[in-house]
Amino acid sequence: MNKAKIGRNDPCPCGSGKKYKNCCLRLEGSGERIGSPFDAYNSWMATLKLKLDKNYAVQIKKIRKPMQEQFLRLSSDKVLPRGQETFFSDWLWFDMTDSEGMTFGREYLNEHHSFMEASLRECLEALNQSYLSIYAVNAAAGNTLDLQDLLAGTSHSVLLKEPLALDLDQSPFLMGRLAALPDGSVFSGMAAMLLNNKGQGDFIKEYIDYWLKLQPCVAMEDLRKQHGEVIYGLFDHASQAISLPINDIRCLPAGTTAAVLAGEIRKSPVFELIHRTAGISWYEMKDSVTPTRLGIHDNGSLVFYTDAVKDIVEADQILQLKTAGWKIVNSLFPFAPPDPDLGDIHYNVIKEQQAERWLQTPHEELENKSPAEVLQESGGRDRILSMLDSFNQQADLNDYSRDLLDYMRARLNSED
């Protein structure tokens, strides 16, 4: 059917169920080239996003809150700044998929492409293929920026509305979503800037390197499209100079490699035996950024945990974390539950972490001293054991709490 024969009040031929005047008619003429490529591209993107917002208003209203919580799961304060709303809305339209793997942007293009001008189709396809990433600024000349994608290492020439004054001596970074169009790439909406004046670049690169090594078999395009919230969280923490705990837990099954590494750990000056509890000898890595421990199990297997990427890098020099067949039990980045086969290992580490946290936390019942401090006093061990007994008598404790109390008792009674 030719669009010229469609009446304004006729049903829209795209099948939306709306009148033509309230649907695809609004796109007519929107793809005309006006002004510079930058102005035209931004006008087209604004038109398309307004259309997406209106077309999927009902669906988006239902999912906006939980999806925003997911997008902000790695941000420092879990609040979306007003000026950065475009990062979330673009992620919602162009990255978030339904049960069939379809995004709002892809669905809209499939349903309306026959009724859209070629320029708008091309622009929407570029948005559908875009992804949030972090870029190093290599050069700025006139209305163009030369960028390098920190994840993929690819180079991009980006159009600007007007020349941007940048201090390249501070090696600035940009976070944004690039839409690759015929006359040059442009940022979809805003781009956030970060100066590399306090080691922010090294921070970002360390975490990206860690993230990529966790998932070596995942295609780069899929990694960026499926985990934009990781990019956003990394940039947010770098901007505020706040570390991002990774809760990395990994294990090495019993075997020749584990036996060799266990022998090296026992004689290494970097690791110190802290305690032996429930069949596991726990060694602490000295001078670590966060509590970093390795457990040697009586069955010959090894388990390792840390919260800092820097500790992963240091431990890798001893433990061959990348090449020795270690299995990832848990990490903040994949955002997936542990493999059921590794559930017991995860549970044992959680108990060890919780026990350590409790031991190092001041308590009112102990005159604001930590249990670890009280243990150094005469009769301190008996006092802490009595405290645990009082906790155990509470009727509302669940099975995990009682198991944790039993573990802490066993730890206090273990050999140092």
Within 10 angstroms of residue 95's Cβ, the number of other Cβ atoms is: 22
For position 21, what pLDDT does the model report?
57
Contact 53, 60 (CB under 8 A): yes
222-277 pLDDT, tens per residue? 888 989 999 999 999 999 989 999 999 999 999 999 999 999 999 999 999 999 99
d(CA 336, CA 103): 21
d(CA 327, CA 133): 28
Contact 146, 155 (CB under 8 A): yes
d(CA 171, CA 202): 11
Measure the CA angle with vertex 13, ends 12 and 17; round to 5°. Answer: 45
d(CA 147, CA 141): 12
Weakly modelled stretches of the chain, pLDDT under 70:
1-8, 10-34, 395, 415-416
Query: Three-state SS for 11?
Result: strand
pTM: 0.84
**Stretch (H or E) spanning 206:** helix 200-214
For position 379, what pLDDT does the model report?
92
For position 331, what pLDDT does the model report?
93
For position 17, what pLDDT does the model report?
56
With b for 16 or more beta-carbon neighbours within 10 A and e for fewer, the 350-364 pattern comes to bbbbebbebbeeeee
Cβ neighbourhood burial of 320 (10 Å; 0-12, 13-18, 19+): middle
Which residues neighbour 246 within 8 Å (Cβ) at sequence distance 6 or greater?
210, 306, 307, 308, 309, 312, 331, 332, 333
Q: Is the Cα torsion angle 373, 375, 380, 386 positive or negative in sign? A: positive
DSSP for 94-116, written as a single string = HT---TTS--HHHHHHHHHGGGS
d(CA 130, CA 188): 9
The gap from C-alpha 13 to its chain's centroid, in whole angstroms, comes to: 41
For position 3, what pLDDT does the model report?
39
For position 2, what pLDDT does the model report?
36
Query: Three-state SS for 297?
Result: strand
Contact 208, 150 (CB under 8 A): yes
